[in-house]
Amino acid sequence: MESKGFSEKHRVTYYETDMNGTVGLGRLVDLMMLSCNDQSDAVGLSSEKVNQMGLGWIVTQNMIDIKRLPRRNETIYITTHAKSYNCYFCYRDFWIHDIRKQELAHMHTVFALMDQNERKIVRIPENLIEPYHSEYATKIERLPLPKELERIDRQKEYEVRFWDIDINQHVNNVHYFEWMLDALDLDFLIKYQPVSMNIEYKKEIRYGQKAVSQAQITMTGVETVTTFHEIKVNDELSCRAVCDWKLRKEEWIM
C-alpha cells in the first residue's frame, strides 16, 4: 500500500451477501467505491461538495479481477489509490484483501467529471485532483473493450426505480450489474462464480426510463463460461460488458 493510497476495514453484513453466502459483483463494487468516497471526504472533496460545484464524478469503465468473493460476516480491508490522471480522465485502482492480507479482488476504474446541467464530460480542474497526489500522465490509457453481442441468449426488462438513482440524478453504475447479471437467471448465478468482468459505460440512464438487459452465454471450457452483456434504452447502448465465470466449487451455498 502506497502512502497516497487510502485503506479501511469493513465487516461484510448479512444483507450485503446473496443466496451464495457471498457478496455479489455489484455490491463488491459498492464496497470498493466506499474507500474512494471516504478518501474524498477525508481530503475535503465529498460528493456533496463536488455536486455543489455543479459537477459529479462518473465511471466510464471498470475492470475487475476476482480471486474470491468476500463472505458473510467476513472482515475485509478495502484499499484505493488514485494512480494517474490526464485532462479528462482519472485512473484509480481498488483492492480487497482478507484479514491475512490475501488479495480477494482488484479493480481498475476510469473516472471522468460530468457537468450536472450539460450532462457532458468536462476538463478536470486542478483543485479537484491535486489532493489525491495522483501522477499526471499525458497519455490516455488504451484499455481492452468488451465486444458486441453476436446473439441474444437472455433478455429482461428493467424499469428504473427510486433506489437506483444516485447523487448524479441518474442510475448508479452498480445497478447495471444487477440488471446484467440477473438476466442470466438464478440457476446460472448459483452454478458459476465470476472470475473477471470488464464494463464500459456509454450513456447514462435516468428516472422514468426502461432498460433492456441482453446477454450472450458462451461456454469456453468444460467448467468455464464467458457472458457478454448489453444494456439499452430505446435501442441506444448504455453499457457493454464481458464476464468470465468458473464452476462454483466452494461449499458456501445455503
Q: Which residues in this chain contact its own copies in the complex, by CB under 8 A?
A: 13-15, 18-19, 21, 24, 26, 30, 33-34, 37, 41, 47-48, 51, 73, 156, 159, 161-163, 165-167, 169, 174, 178, 181-182, 185-186, 189, 207, 254
Measured distance CA(140)–CA(103) in Å, rounded = 27
Q: Specify the residue, 102 or 169, whose C-beta has the smaller distance to its own copies.
A: 169
Measured distance CA(232)–CA(238) in Å, rounded = 5
CB of 142 to its own copies, least distance (A): 31
Measured distance CA(111)–CA(45) in Å, rounded = 15
CB of 136 to its own copies, least distance (A): 28
Q: Are 228 and 149 in contact (CB under 8 A)?
A: yes
Q: Are 233 and 239 in contact (CB under 8 A)?
A: no
Phi-psi region of 139 (alpha: psi -120 to 50; beta: other; left: phi over 0): beta
Q: Are 190 and 248 in contact (CB under 8 A)?
A: yes
Q: Where are the beta strands (DSSP E) in 47-101?
A: 55-66, 75-85, 90-98
CB of 108 to its own copies, least distance (A): 20
The per-type count for the chain, helices as H runs and strands as E runs, is 4, 12
Q: Specify the residue, 124 or 174, whose C-beta has the smaller distance to its own copies.
A: 174
Q: Specify the residue, 149 or 165, whose C-beta has the smaller distance to its own copies.
A: 165
Measured distance CA(96)–CA(102) in Å, rounded = 8
CB of 18 to its own copies, least distance (A): 6
CB of 12 to its own copies, least distance (A): 11
CB of 165 to its own copies, least distance (A): 6
Measured distance CA(168)–CA(143) in Å, rounded = 25
Q: Specify the residue, 119 or 156, whose C-beta has the smaller distance to its own copies.
A: 156
Q: Specify the residue, 157 or 223, whose C-beta has the smaller distance to its own copies.
A: 157
The C-alpha cell that represents 57 in the structure block: 464524478
CB of 39 to its own copies, least distance (A): 12
Q: Specify the residue, 222 or 254, whose C-beta has the smaller distance to its own copies.
A: 254
Q: Specify the residue, 34 or 195, whose C-beta has the smaller distance to its own copies.
A: 34
First-to-final CA distance of the chain: 35
The CA angle 174-160-200, to the nearest 5 degrees, is 40
